[in-house]
A and B are shown apart, each in its own frame.
Chain A
Amino acid sequence: MADHSEPTNLAVSALAYVCGELSPQARAAFERRLADDPAACEALSEAVQLLGLLDGQTPTRPTPAYRAAVRHRLAPPAAPGRLTGSSAWWQSLGVGVLAVLAVCVCLAWPVPQPQPQAIGQRFGNGQDSPRLPSMSQQSVPVRESTVTQTTTAAPQPATHQPDPDELLVSVWADLSNSEHLQKARLAHQRRQQRITDRDTLADPTDRRYRRGGSR
């Protein structure tokens, strides 16, 4: 019977290794042997298992969770567009639901309406339009073209009439940009120069000055 046979030297060495009974040199030699000797590995495994019978602390098996982790790490990453079966079906369903939700949210979201009273209060002028600085007033042609482009670029419902305060706020926002201020300043200088030239030449039939004067 196997239990009557003498354990091999390897089994005894493994038991001594596990019990910490080997000298440092013998321990290092045994570990070197473990690197490429499956029989030594088997002997070590059995020694641990045998001692585990008595110590009541060494788990007899690893927890099953490690198997799931191995499966997860071995699973190839799914390539986009190559899903098959139920995975693809669930993914399609998820995308569809998200799209419908996005549309519903967009439709149901309240569109903020301009509040003239609030804007007027912001400028400290009630129902009246806010009074802009003189530099801005002189650059009205530039602002008008900007406003026209804005309104044509963003189509509004036919019944919607742009609120004057709203327009002024957007114009003011445009003028707050330093580039626009610079343009307005240059336009103002050119206009002043034309007026000076017109006065100097005193030629009222010139179309350019007539158009400039009509502004």
Chain B
Amino acid sequence: MSRLTDAELIRRFRTGDDSALEALFERHEQAVYHFLVGLLRNPHLAEDVLQDTFVKALERVSEVQAERFKGWLYTVAYREAMLARRRGKLAPSSGAAVGEPASREPDPCTLAGQADEAHLLRQLISQLPEAQQRVIHARIYEGKPFHEIAAALGCPLSTALARMHQGLHRLRQWLEARHG
């Protein structure tokens, strides 16, 4: 089922094949969910809106080209998130940023959730290039905003952000390789 295209899954979903719906969830829910968390800054609300998104998108799936289903999901998710904002369900987008440390105290265990994970992360971060390490350390363990980090490192803001992105991307690859 996982090898089928979105078009084929949608065709099967229309015939009442529940496993096709399950495959669509598996394929797209995580990306749309993270998109909504980024927009709404609230995981619980993001899950509510994710539910609305799938319902609306699948109710009107006949109106969209199946090969553009993921783009359609994002469009519906965006509209539903804006509706949720207008209903006053959440703080504005200028609220707490995702990835902001909960405490200014350097606490790897809290930041990573579990002590083992924190230890592993620290090990992996230490293997990153020096420039990336410094940005990640300043952001995650010292809680500094990026414009301060950029000023401290003497580089443009976009460079500090790019180093952060590169470092995180590499960390994800290493973690995925470890967890299989």
Measured CB to CB, the residues of A under 8 A from B are: 2-4, 6-7, 9, 11-12, 14-21, 24, 27, 31, 34-36, 38, 41-42, 44-63, 66-67, 69-71, 73-74
Contacts and interface: CB of A to CB of B under 8 A. Distances in A.
A159 B30 CA distance: 79
A59 B43 contact: yes
Interface in B149-174: 157-158, 161-162, 164-166, 168-173
Contacts of A15: 161, 164-165
Contacts of B54: 66, 70
Contacts of B78: 34-35, 41
A4 B71 CA distance: 28
Given A61-B33, A73-B55, A12 B71 contact: no
Nearest to B147: A21
B74 A38 contact: yes
A41 B37 CA distance: 11
Contacts of B166: 3-4, 6-7
B117 A12 contact: no
Contacts of B140: 54-55
Given A19-B145, A38-B71, A66-B54, 11 more contacts: A7-B165, A12-B165, A19-B97, A27-B94, A47-B38, A47-B165, A55-B101, A55-B102, A61-B33, A62-B30, A69-B51
B35 A48 contact: yes
Interface of B: prevailing SS? helix
Nearest to B129: A4
A77 to B, nearest CB: 14
Contact of A48 (B34, B96, B118): B34
Contacts, number: 175
Contacts of A18: 38, 97-99
A35 B75 CA distance: 6
Interface residues of B, number: 67
B74 to A, nearest CB: 4
Nearest to B158: A12
Nearest to B112: A56
B35 A41 contact: yes
A28 to B, nearest CB: 9
A31 B31 CA distance: 17
A46 B37 CA distance: 11
Given A27-B94, A66-B47, A54 B121 contact: yes
Contacts of A19: 97-100, 139, 145-146, 161
Given A12-B158, A41-B78, A74 B58 contact: yes
Nearest to B68: A38
Contacts of B175: 53
B172 to A, nearest CB: 6
B33 to A, nearest CB: 5
Contacts of B105: none
Contacts of B97: 18-21
A16 B111 contact: no
Nearest to B79: A35
Contacts of A16: 146, 157, 161
Nearest to A47: B38
Nearest to B149: A21
Contacts of A47: 38, 98, 165
